[in-house]
């Protein structure tokens, strides 16, 4: 995938979602948006520069939009998951070198399951997170602590 395509999907896609979500939330009087970034938005890995740039952009865009929308009842945050066990990441797990790298560098010693990420999204969209605005929530088993 080219640099432009990566930014178009991973960054501009988030921008366009918010462009259309926010007006509907303003009509209803409130809302919560959780944008999907990645640990690549807080740390860099070799060979994925475009993805790292896009995910850093998602975090910055989320912060800026949060500042612009918070006083209108809309809370915007970003989620930065580490490696998640999904069909998309199966090829990485099938490669013993890649899998070993992530497991060795994740203090919890495993990758996450989709339900663990979904739980944080549910929390951030709930009233329990009513004071969380413009933050990036890293859920990576400690990977980014290095």
Residue 130 CB coordination number (10 Å): 10
Please list the active-site residues: 51
Domain with residue 105: its CATH number is 3.40.50.720
Q: What is the domain extent for residue 55?
A: 3-145
Confidence of residue 1 (pLDDT cuts 50, 70, 90): low
Please write the tens of the pLDDT for every residue from 67-95.
Answer: 999 999 999 999 999 999 999 888 888 88
3-class DSSP string for 44-65: CCCCCHHHHHHHHHHHHHHHHH
- Looking at the structure of the chain, the number of domains it has is 1
Say how far apart CA 55 and CA 85 lie, in whole Å: 19
Which pLDDT value is given to residue 136? 98
* pTM summary value: 0.93
């Amino acid at each position: 995938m080219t640099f432009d395509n990566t930014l178009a999907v991973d960054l501009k896609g988030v921008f366009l979602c918010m462009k259309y979500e926010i007006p509907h939330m303003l009509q209803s009087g409130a809302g919560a948006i959780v944008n999907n970034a990645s640990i690549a938005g807080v740390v860099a890995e070799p060979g994925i520069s475009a993805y790292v740039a896009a995910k850093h952009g998602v975090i910055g865009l989320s912060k800026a939009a949060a500042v612009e929308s918070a006083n209108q009842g809309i809370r915007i945050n970003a989620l930065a998951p580490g490696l998640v066990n999904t069909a998309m990441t199966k090829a990485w797990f099938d490669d013993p070198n890649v899998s070993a790298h992530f497991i060795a560098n994740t203090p919890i010693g495993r990758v996450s399951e989709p339900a663990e990420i979904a739980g944080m999204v549910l929390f951030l969209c709930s009233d329990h997170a009513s004071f969380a605005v413009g933050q990036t929530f890293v859920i990576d088993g400690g990977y980014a602590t290095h």
